[in-house]
Amino acid sequence: MQRREFLALLAASTMLPASLRAAPSVTRIMVGATPGGGTDLVARALAAELEQRRKQPYIVENRGGAAGNIAATAVAKADPDGGTLLLCYTSHAINPALFDKKPFDPIKDFTPISLIATSPLLLVSRPDLGVSNVRELIALAKSRPGKLSLAVAGVGSANHLAGEMLKHEAGIDLVSVPYKGAAPAVADVVAGQADLLLGNVATVQPLLQAGKIKGLGVSSPQRLAAFPHIAPIADVVPSFNYNSWYGLLGPAGMPADTVAQLEAAVRAAVASPAMRKRLAGEGLVPVGNDAAQFRQFLQEEIARWAKVVAVTGTRLS
């Protein structure tokens, strides 16, 4: 074949509809967080299950920074052939209201595939704070306004904003203290340098089980199977419900058949006993809904968190 003919064929192949092009041999799952955290754990668990089901490599690529916006921007600009996906988390719905500069549209620039799991938050305290539940905490905080500290693991995170809404809805004055991640925030609560923390179950459950911190309330309306003695915050602060979550997105314009195949594989993966056990072990609640349901969920979350950002006045440049 002459070079000219080869180049003509190559150019023609790039003009084919995405659904008729060869499927990518390797799929990257982008994660907007550093290795070892909850988002990374969910991504790697999902990648392992998808490899078994789809008989091709799934590689997790961490691109932390800007509250997940760096990884999300890369996926928004990727070829919509199913070869690049985003394991997004709650910040994907928070960021549009939080940042003045918006590098992408959280709905229009992506293809929703499935909500993987949700993660309730646990309100915990240093063991010697002298309270055992949310009602007692509110009474103590009102008797000592501006004296109790709330450790914040990441400004603008779901944990941070949920804490600000707790202050707002319960009518209490806590001093929010920002930390660069969950590990130092939890360490200061254990050491008694900070009084309170709203943290992911996976982060705090080993310390709760060891008695190094005390559980006061759970952010979901339901009690957790692992900690049935910890009552929902909503029992005292009506309608309080601020969970974290993890979902899978692709770039906008993915072919319908590619989305359908991927959605089916993801839902089967999340329903598998191995993955459900792994997620539950980290305090996560498996979901695995369909693409349409995930799109609606995203729209509702973006609207909900926009109201939270407005009420709390939190902004990031």
CATH number of the domain to which 12 belongs: 3.40.190.150
229 plus 247 within the same structural domain: no
Structure tokens at 95: 């960021």
The residues facing 232 across adjacent strands are 218
CATH number of the domain to which 181 belongs: 3.40.190.10
275 plus 291 within the same structural domain: yes
Selection from 178, 162, 41, 36 nearest residue 94 by Cα: 162
105 plus 16 within the same structural domain: yes
pLDDT of 202 reads 82
Which residues are CB-contacts of 165 (< 8 A; sequence separation ≥ 6)? Answer: 240, 242, 308, 311, 312
Q: CA–CA separation, 106 vs 72, rounded Å?
A: 9
Question: Which residue range is the domain that position 107 belongs to?
Answer: 3-118+243-312
125 plus 229 within the same structural domain: yes
| pLDDT range class, residue 65, cuts 50, 70, 90 | confident
pLDDT of 265 reads 96
Which residues are CB-contacts of 209 (< 8 A; sequence separation ≥ 6)? Answer: none
Q: pLDDT of 1-25, one tens digit each?
A: 454 544 444 444 444 454 445 567 7
295 domain residue, yes or no? yes
Selection from 29, 107, 41, 31 nearest residue 69 by Cα: 31
Q: Please check whether residue 53 is in contact with residue 265, taking contact to mean a CB–CB distance below 8 angstroms.
A: yes
Which 3 state secondary structure label does DSSP give 288? coil
Provide the edge-to-edge strand list for the sheet that holds 214-218: 175-179, 149-153, 196-200, 121-125, 214-218
Q: pLDDT of 232-290, one tens digit each?
A: 999 999 989 999 999 999 999 999 999 999 999 999 999 999 999 999 888 899 999 99
Q: Please check whether residue 110 is in contact with residue 30, taking contact to mean a CB–CB distance below 8 angstroms.
A: no
- Residue that has been written with the tokens 């790039």 in this structure: 14
Cα–Cα distance list, 64 to 47, 94, 158 (Å): 18, 16, 17
87 plus 146 within the same structural domain: no
97 domain residue, yes or no? yes
pLDDT of 12 reads 43
Which 3 state secondary structure label does DSSP give 305? helix
91 plus 10 within the same structural domain: yes
136 plus 43 within the same structural domain: no
317 domain residue, yes or no? no
Give the mean model confidence (pLDDT) for residues 196-214. Answer: 92
Q: CA–CA separation, 240 vs 100, rounded Å?
A: 27
**Phi, psi of 164, deg, nearest 5:** -65, -35
Q: pLDDT of 131-162, one tens digit each?
A: 999 999 999 999 999 999 999 988 888 999 99
Q: pLDDT of 157-183, one tens digit each?
A: 899 999 999 999 999 999 999 988 788
Cα–Cα distance list, 88 to 20, 72, 168, 209 (Å): 28, 8, 28, 29
Which residues are CB-contacts of 69 (< 8 A; sequence separation ≥ 6)? Answer: 32, 95, 99, 103, 104
Q: Please check whether residue 116 is in contact with residue 266, taking contact to mean a CB–CB distance below 8 angstroms.
A: yes
> pTM score, two decimals?
0.85
| pLDDT range class, residue 317, cuts 50, 70, 90 | low
247 plus 113 within the same structural domain: yes
Query: Of 206, 235, 264, at which residue does a domain stop?
Result: 235
